């Protein structure tokens, strides 16, 4: 349900309930709220933030901590997010009139896409409030009802018990007596609790074990952040048994301190995060340590999976993700300072402490000695790289050669030194201007990044741009380059971002950069101190480094060979350079098909699919929230697309606009990353937009039309075209019907093609009016086949062969041989699973030879009526 329903039910001149869109919180984690509502009947309102609204359920008896007790939850209209702060009286006579009191609130998380889980009817989630904690379930029932009914119940976790919602009213405002009499008082509470305590954990002192470590001494810990040890960037993993090699975790560095059992979390630059990530705070507290200093990385995922984009989206409230704290160092425990102990000893004790840790805590294991093997394993599992640490050394705050990082992905951190103006629908800025530390000039311009931004990230970064001191003259050294920056605004290094890129050009500029994320935990000064320039300038490489370079060079040559037209890609084109965000988001809820599966499909069929759209203006159907939610068409180029060409074409209004044109596999995969599902090319190429080389007749059956009639209609069109000397081809549409495709070579003007297609459709409708119709009006289409000729004009499109369709079942538009048409059962006979299997069996394309046919529309006008015969004549070309 949308907020339209919420607005419809309320008169905001008479109720204090918040009006939608007035005070939408931004940049905070997704929240939950439970309110006790004495309306016509007493109940609890249970609400979870999903996107920009609160999904809401009325729970008559309130949540129960007993997993065996399943409480009915009636789904009601969505509420605005700022309703989470509402309490007080709703006037009598207004919808929901009665008293509303705050019961509990906090943040919540779930593994996977929340909307997809709700669409499937089972949402698994965690709550982090004062009263409601741990895992919960919402399961939709099959019982028919005016409003969907769900069951709310507790997961069998460490919090499960006998507590009921009515036991937790110790701090909840009581309703007016009149409301209590009308709505009911509920059962007498057994307990007047105001919070639920952490699960009881047997306290164990680790002081004795800590004092046995080398250099340990008793010392009281202060409740202040400490400076962590940092790594320098290297070209290859260091060699030697003294090195411990760990995964390079892709998240935010967080240090934790525990003093007298009280946990506080800090970012690397000493900003407190205790309340930002309550699940991590509670997990560290559950270790039962009296005092401790811990070092680790906050990630989105559990242990072996991580997603930096999901982490940022979760912390900003755009999505819900489960967070984990991966720990890799211990500096103090239970009154004992162990910073002087070798790292291998500190990690040994840390591993013992974490043996029975809560699920939100993980131990960062390591491989001793074999750095190249650790690097290979990290690469195989798609991690960013490894961190190599001297296991025989004590803790040293700050950056040193004793910790080294070796990255797998081409990514790095840069300072933001300016911006360009936004274009199109983007607000804030167009691109960010980047700089890197330069020992000669201080800072040197590295290029600009304009892709990879979400709306929330644009707003967050925009706050950090130094617009007040911006100037048109660069504040950093700008090497010679061909980028037009005349309208750019420059300022001193202001913020740090991490950027993916595909190599560095001859002018020292990043090639095809894409934003990975903002690094609020770092400052430009951190980059200047990292001494990357010195690391990159080392001339003595180890044998392992040389081997890695040779392997990389070899794989690069192979990739280049695979990408040539003469040797089409047979495995995952562009995958090495392609990074997919939100890979687990559900795109087809009915099948549970994810964005990763969509990307894998297009990658696997690229050899066949790319020629269908390459060089043609193309329109996309983008489904940012998956099939079943609103999708939209896009035909114009937008900011953020780095691999897709923008070709200026004249529109009907006389203006020129940048149209999308795909040239290679990288462009296709970039559009998939932008949530494109369907690809609809023009019947012309971008370099000759006024000359059509394809005509498509779309056979769209109305209600009560048998599939056999659609097949018969396609064959009839083929026969009529053959009488005119024209060869044609057929494909399933991926929907209800078929497409008959007529190639033109070298092509015809649109003022010839459009009347031909119209005349042909009209002729069939007039010849057999009980079977065919040439008008799109729905009331005339029952029991008939609409011959859609409207796809044959300048700027009109039809779906490409091999394109997915945004319909249940993930069907595919599939080209056929005419002799196999009779064996096909429907227009959606092939899908995301069966289509690739079919193509693997092919020895040749079903439309083999289509590009060699030479035919046009000369001398057919007399057979099709005055409109076509009035069209300009062309010289006939023989096939």
Per-residue pLDDT tens for 462-485? 888 888 888 888 888 887 654 567
Residue 778 has what pLDDT?
A: 67
Residue 538 binned pLDDT confidence (cut-offs 50, 70, 90): very low
Q: Which residue has the tokens 């903002």?
A: 518
Give the residue among 446, 398, 417, 436 at the shortest CA–CA distance from 528: 436
Query: Residue 378 in contact with residue 385, Cβ under 8 Å?
Result: yes
Question: How far apart are alpha carbons 308 and 649 in whole angstroms?
Answer: 38
Instruction: Determine the average pLDDT of the residues in 381-408.
Output: 87
Cα(555)–Cα(353) distance, rounded to whole angstroms? 43
Contact at 8 Å (CB) between 457 and 518? Answer: yes
Give phi and psi for 200, each to the nearest 5: -65, 135
Q: Are 415 and 527 in contact (CB under 8 A)?
A: yes
Identify which of 352, 351, 386 has the alpha carbon closest to the alpha carbon of residue 372.
386
CB atoms within 10 A of CB 473: 7
SS3 at position 291: strand
Give me the residues paired with residue 622 across strands: 632, 676
Stretch (H or E) spanning 548: helix 543-562
List, in sequence order, every residue forming a beta bridge with 510; answer none if it has no partner. Answer: 504
Residue 837 has pLDDT above 90, yes or no: yes
Confidence of residue 879 (pLDDT cuts 50, 70, 90): very low
* Token representation of residue 790: 């409207």
**Residues in CB range of 303: below 8 A, 6 or more apart:** 324, 326, 362
Helix crossing, 455-462 with 308-316: angle to 10°?
70
For 301-425, list the strands marked E by DSSP: 323-333, 336-337, 361-363, 367-368, 385-390, 398-407, 411-419
Q: What's CA 565's distance to the chain center, in Å?
A: 31
**For 750, phi and psi rounded to 5 degrees?**
-65, -30
How far, in Å, CA of 259 to CA of 274, rounded? Answer: 14
- At residue 656, does pLDDT exceed 90? no
Mean pLDDT of 356-361: 86
Taking residues 114-131, what's their average pLDDT? 91
Whole-angstrom Cα distance, residue 168 to residue 183? 19
Q: What is the pLDDT of residues 489-513, one digit of tens each?
A: 999 998 999 888 766 765 678 877 8
- Can you tell me the distance from the alpha carbon of 384 to that of 406, in angstroms, rounded to the nearest whole number? 9
**Which pLDDT score is estimated for 63?**
96
- 388: helix, coil or strand? strand
Q: How far apart are CA 627 and CA 806, in angstroms?
A: 6
SS3 852: helix
Q: What pLDDT is stored for residue 575 in this prediction? A: 39
Instruction: Please say whether the beta carbons of 410 and 498 come within 8 A.
Output: no
Confidence of residue 23 (pLDDT cuts 50, 70, 90): low
Enclosing H/E stretch for 495? strand 489-500
For the chain, what is the mean pLDDT? 84
| H-state helical runs in 427-510 | 455-462
pLDDT at 710: 96
pTM reported for the whole predicted model? 0.54
More confident residue, 388 or 320: 388
Q: Is the pLDDT of residue 713 over 60?
A: yes
Q: What is the pLDDT of residue 113?
A: 83
Helix (H, G, I), strand (E, B) or coil at 284: helix
Q: Which tens digits make up the pLDDT trace of 592-615?
A: 899 999 999 999 999 999 999 999
Q: Give the integer Cα–Cα distance in Å for 583 and 673.
A: 9
Quote the Cα angle for 110-111-115, to 5°: 65
Non-local (6+) Cβ contacts of 262 within 8 A are 223
Report the alpha-carbon distance of residue 405 to residue 277 in Å, rounded: 27
Do 489 and 471 touch, CB atoms closer than 8 A? yes
Q: How far apart are CA 15 and CA 263, in angstroms?
A: 42
Per-residue confidence band for 865, with pLDDT thresholds at 50, 70 and 90:
very low
Gap between the Cα atoms of 739 and 815, Å rounded: 9
For residue 65, pLDDT over 60 is answered with yes
Distances (CA, A) of 156 to 67, 68, 110, 162, 321: 6, 9, 16, 12, 20
Question: Could you tell me if 760 and 860 are in contact, meaning their C-beta atoms sit under 8 angstroms apart?
Answer: no
Rounded to 5°, angle at Cα 612 from 610 and 614: 60
Domain boundaries for CATH 2.40.50.140 within the chain: 411-530
Query: Where in the chain do CATH 3.30.470.30 domains reside?
Result: 222-407
When pLDDT is cut at 50, 70 and 90, the band that residue 300 belongs to is: confident
> Is the distance from CB of 640 to CB of 451 less than 8 angstroms?
yes
Contact 54, 33 (CB under 8 A): yes
CB-CB neighbours of 265 under 10 Å: 24
Where does the chain hold its CATH 3.90.920.10 domain(s)?
Answer: 576-681, 691-793+814-869
Q: 149-178 in b/e burial notation, b at 16+ Cβ within 10 A? A: bbebbbeeebbbeebbbbbbbeebeebeee
Q: How confident is the model at residue 441 (pLDDT cuts 50, 70, 90)?
A: confident
Report how far residue 458's alpha carbon sits from residue 462's, in angstroms, rounded to the nearest whole number: 6
Taking 80 as the threshold, does the pLDDT of residue 698 lie above it? yes
Burial status of residue 674 (CB atoms within 10 A of its CB: 0-12, 13-18, 19 or more): middle
pLDDT digits (tens, 9 = 90+) for 721-731: 999 989 999 99
Q: For residues 320-335, give the mean pLDDT.
A: 92
Alpha-carbon gap, residue 285 to 739, rounded angstroms = 64
* Cα-Cα end-to-end distance for the chain: 58
**Region of poorest pLDDT, from 193-207, 285-299, 552-566, 793-807:** 552-566
Banded pLDDT at 516 (limits 50, 70, 90): confident
Mean pLDDT of 47-60: 92
User: String of b and e for 805-837 (b: at least 16 CB within 10 Å)?
Assistant: bbbebbbbbbbbeeeebeebeebbbbbbeebbe
pLDDT score of 434: 94
CA distance 12 to 97: 13
**Averaged pLDDT for residues 99-109:** 94
Please give the Cα distance from 783 to 794 (Å, whole number).
31
CB 449 within 8 Å of CB 496: no
Q: What positions carry a catalytic annotation?
A: 248
What 3-state class would DSSP assign to 333?
strand
Encode burial over 335-364: b for 16+ CB neighbours within 10 A, e otherwise.
bbbbbebbbbbbbebbeebbeebbebbbbb
Q: b vs e for 641-660, b when ≥16 Cβ sit within 10 Å of the residue's Cβ?
A: bbbbbebebeeeeeeeebbb
Q: What stretches of 99-198 show up as alpha helix (H) in DSSP?
A: 114-120, 177-183
Strand pairing category for 88-90 and 98-109: antiparallel
Q: What's residue 409's pLDDT?
A: 60
Q: Residue 562 — very low, low, confident or very high, per pLDDT cuts 50/70/90?
A: very low
- 199 or 461, greater pLDDT: 461
Helix axes 750-767, 707-723, angle to 10 degrees: 120
Cβ neighbours of 88 (radius 10 Å): 12
Q: Write the pLDDT tens digit of every residue in 362-389.
A: 898 888 887 877 887 777 666 778 899 9
**pLDDT the model gives residue 199:** 76
The CATH class, in words, for 222-407 is alpha beta
We find that the CATH architecture of domain 691-793+814-869 is Alpha-Beta Complex (3.90)
- DSSP E strand stretches across 228-342: 229-233, 243-247, 252-259, 262-267, 291-300, 323-333, 336-337
Q: What is the pLDDT of residue 251?
A: 87
> pLDDT digit string (tens) for 149-189?
999 999 998 899 999 999 999 889 989 998 888 888 777 66
Residue 27 burial (CB count, 10 A): 13
pLDDT at 852: 87
**pLDDT number for residue 255:** 96
pLDDT digits (tens, 9 = 90+) for 222-271: 888 899 999 988 877 888 889 999 888 888 999 999 999 899 999 988 88
E-assigned strands of 511-562? 514-518
Instruction: Please report, for residues 126, 148, 718, the alpha-carbon distance to residue 157 in angstroms, rounded to integers and kept in the order given.
Output: 11, 27, 65
Distances (CA, A) of 315 to 54, 337, 610: 17, 33, 38
Q: What is the CATH number of domain 411-530?
A: 2.40.50.140
CA 564 to chain centre: 30
- Percent of the chain at pLDDT exceeding 90: 48
Q: Residue 567's pLDDT band (boundaries 50, 70, 90)?
A: very low
Q: CATH top-level class for 576-681?
A: alpha beta
């Amino acid at each position: 349900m949308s907020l339209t329903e919420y607005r419809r039910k309320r008169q905001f001149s008479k109720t204090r309930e918040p009006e939608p869109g007035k005070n939408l919180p931004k940049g905070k984690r997704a929240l939950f709220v439970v309110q006790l509502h004495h309306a016509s009947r007493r109940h609890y309102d249970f609400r979870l933030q999903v996107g920009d609204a609160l999904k809401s359920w009325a729970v008559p008896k309130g949540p129960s901590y007993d997993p065996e007790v399943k409480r009915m939850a009636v789904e009601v209209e969505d509420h605005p997010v700022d309703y989470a702060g509402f309490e007080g009286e709703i006037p009598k006579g207004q919808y929901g009139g009665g008293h509303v009191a705050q019961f509990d609130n906090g943040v919540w998380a779930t593994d996977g896409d929340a909307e997809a889980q709700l669409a499937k009817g089972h949402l698994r989630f965690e709550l982090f409030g004062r009263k409601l904690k741990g895992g919960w379930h919402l399961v939709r029932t099959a019982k028919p009802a005016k409003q969907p009914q769900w069951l709310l119940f507790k997961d069998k976790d460490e919090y499960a018990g006998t507590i009921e919602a009515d036991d937790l009213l110790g701090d909840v405002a009581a309703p007016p007596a009149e409301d209590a009499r009308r709505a009911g008082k509920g059962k007498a509470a057994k307990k007047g609790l105001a919070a639920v305590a952490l699960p009881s954990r047997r306290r164990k002192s680790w002081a004795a074990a800590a004092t046995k470590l080398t250099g340990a001494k008793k010392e009281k810990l202060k409740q202040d952040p400490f400076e962590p040890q940092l790594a320098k960037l290297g070209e290859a993993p260091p060699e030697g048994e003294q090195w411990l090699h760990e995964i390079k975790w892709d998240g935010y560095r967080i240090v934790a301190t525990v003093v007298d059992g009280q946990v506080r979390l800090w970012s690397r630059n000493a900003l407190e995060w205790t309340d930002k990530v309550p699940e991590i705070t509670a997990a560290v507290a559950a270790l039962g340590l009296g005092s401790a200093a811990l070092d680790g990385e906050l990630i989105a995922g559990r242990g072996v999976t991580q997603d930096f984009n999901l982490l940022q989206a979760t912390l900003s409230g755009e999505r819900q993700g489960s967070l984990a704290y991966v720990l890799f160092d211990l500096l103090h425990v239970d009154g004992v300072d162990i910073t002087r102990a070798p790292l291998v000893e500190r990690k040994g004790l840390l591993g013992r402490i974490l043996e029975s840790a809560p699920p939100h805590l993980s131990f960062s294991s390591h491989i001793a000695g074999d750095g190249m093997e650790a690097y290979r394993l990290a690469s195989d599992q798609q991690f960013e790289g490894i961190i190599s640490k001297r296991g025989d050394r004590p803790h040293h705050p700050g950056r040193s050669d004793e910790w080294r990082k070796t990255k797998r992905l081409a990514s790095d951190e840069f300072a933001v030194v300016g911006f360009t103006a936004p274009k199109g629908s983007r607000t804030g800025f167009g691109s960010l201007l980047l700089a890197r530390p330069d020992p000669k000039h201080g800072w040197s311009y590295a290029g600009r990044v304009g892709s990879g931004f979400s709306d929330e990230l644009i707003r967050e970064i925009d706050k950090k741009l130094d617009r007040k001191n911006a100037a048109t003259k660069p504040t950093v050294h700008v090497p010679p380059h061909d980028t037009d920056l005349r309208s750019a605004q420059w300022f001193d290094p202001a913020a740090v971002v991490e950027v993916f890129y595909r190599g560095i050009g001859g002018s020292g500029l990043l090639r095809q950069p894409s934003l990975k994320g903002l690094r609020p935990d770092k400052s430009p000064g951190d980059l200047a101190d990292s001494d990357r320039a010195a690391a990159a300038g080392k001339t003595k490489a180890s044998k392992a480094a040389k081997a890695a370079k040779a392997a990389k060079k070899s794989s690069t040559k192979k990739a280049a060979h695979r990408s040539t037209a003469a040797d089409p890609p047979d495995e995952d084109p562009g995958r090495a350079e392609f990074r997919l965000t939100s890979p687990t988001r559900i795109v087809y809820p009915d099948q549970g098909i994810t964005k990763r599966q969509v990307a894998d499909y297009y990658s696997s069929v690229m050899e066949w699919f790319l020629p269908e759209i390459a060089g043609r203006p193309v329109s996309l159907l983008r489904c940012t929230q998956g099939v079943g939610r609103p999708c939209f068409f896009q035909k114009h180029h937008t900011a953020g697309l780095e691999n897709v060409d923008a070709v200026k074409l004249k529109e009907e209004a006389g203006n020129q606009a940048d149209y999308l044109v795909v040239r290679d596999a990288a462009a296709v995969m970039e559009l998939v990353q932008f949530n494109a599902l369907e690809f609809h090319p023009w019947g012309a190429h971008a370099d000759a937009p006024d000359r059509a080389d394809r005509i498509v007749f779309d056979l769209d059956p109305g209600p009560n039309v048998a599939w056999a009639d659609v097949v018969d209609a396609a064959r009839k069109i083929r026969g009529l075209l053959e009488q005119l000397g024209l060869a044609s081809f057929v494909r399933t549409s991926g929907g209800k019907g078929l497409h008959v495709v007529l190639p033109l070579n070298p092509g015809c003007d649109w003022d010839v093609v459009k009347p031909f297609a119209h005349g042909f459709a009209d002729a069939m409708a007039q010849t057999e009016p009980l079977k065919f119709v040439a008008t799109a009006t729905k009331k005339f289409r029952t029991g008939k086949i609409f011959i859609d000729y409207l796809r044959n004009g300048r700027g009109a499109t039809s779906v490409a062969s091999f394109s997915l369709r945004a319909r249940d079942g993930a069907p595919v538009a599939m080209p056929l041989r005419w002799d196999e048409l009779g064996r096909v059962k429907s227009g959606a006979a092939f899908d995301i699973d069966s289509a690739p299997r079919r193509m693997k069996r092919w020895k040749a394309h079903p439309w083999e030879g289509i590009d060699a046919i030479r035919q046009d529309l000369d001398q057919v006008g007399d057979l099709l009526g005055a409109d076509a015969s009035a069209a300009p004549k062309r010289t006939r070309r023989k096939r």
